[in-house]
Structure 1
Amino acid sequence: MAAAQQTDFQKNFRLIVEKIFNHWQDLRLAVEHGMGGRNGQQVAIEIMDYTYQYCVSNENITQGELQEVVEELMDQEFNTLCDDDSIPEICRNLLRYKLLAQQNQYPQIEAELSKLPAGKEWLRPDVKITYTPIEGDSSSDEDMDDDDDDEDDEMGHEDEDDAPSSSGRMTRSQTRKQQAQEFVEPEDGWTTVRRK
């Protein structure tokens, strides 16, 4: 009987972990922005699987230990640090739901998880996530300049982009050039995301 209960616990806890990870926006954004490379979605699934195995195979883990594991995985696999307290919240919930699942409190767990916003499960191999690969500098000045070519032509700008206009206001292309000159390249392994 104990083996059957253990199997039920593992199966049900697996569903809980999947539900929590499918709602973790930081992980999804890291995948969508190509932080894990071309196989980022598979890496995210492996992180979810590893976290599940870690929780199931360690009897008395603390929130701090689990948090350290998840933070290290996000840093190593996605070069991502989560400063929004999502990792402590996820770890707290995982350990809480693990305890409730061991006590067969599934109706309470289900009631709480049903309050999460409806969303599509994306941490499955059959679901494809589109991602934007990030190469070198994440800003693409050439693309932005193309967007403003028509605007500059209409305003009669030629090579005046380097000097402020006679009204003292800077055009968008002048602002972009100034920001590009002020931009400091981040250390290796870090990616800077800038708004267009």
Structure 2
Amino acid sequence: MARSVSHQGQHNRFDLRMALRERRRALNADQQVSAGKGLCEVLKSRPELLACQHIAVYLANDGEINPETLQEYLWQSGKHCYLPVVDQSGSKVLTFVEYHTGTSLVENRFGIPEPSLNGAKTIPPEKLDIVLVPLTGFDEQGRRLGMGGGCYDRTFAFTSIAHKPILIGLAHECQKVDSIPVEHWDIPMAGIATDCQFYQISA
């Protein structure tokens, strides 16, 4: 049964989100580059990635761990990468556009670069094999905290009854906390990868 949202839970999530955003933004450029390389090392031999062809990545923003090194590795491995595009109508449903070196990027209403939809090759979310989801925070039980917009939760709500795509959260190791307060709409991750290790989440 879906539980109601408590004001206390919302308050705790807001405060935690702000604190963890500050924590990741405090990392300097060298630390960010090192974290991105560590993330690639953690993920590139994962069987989930080796077995798939269509992978959603993202362009790092606001101190998020940067999957650029991993994405370059995926391209070199012959994988197809896709970037999310935020729906301009405010529906909070993401569109995924194939991403390659020649992809034209434009700023969305949040000031974040994303592919232009003009003439773009898109893929339905259910056809993706893996989605790499940026996180603001997480705990070892696999509970996650996003940016609060709900776009990934809305777009991939169907994964509660589907086997794919596999959702893997990405974060800096310093974004791990003891416990994340959850809400009924939070979609679970199959695993969480940091610059240090992979946390396999039990179903």
User: TM-score band, normalised by the shorter chain?
Assistant: under 0.3
Between structures 1 and 2, the one with greater strand share:
2
Higher helix share: 1
Please tell me whether Structure 1 or Structure 2 has the larger radius of gyration of its CA atoms: 1
Q: TM-score, normalised by structure 1?
A: 0.24
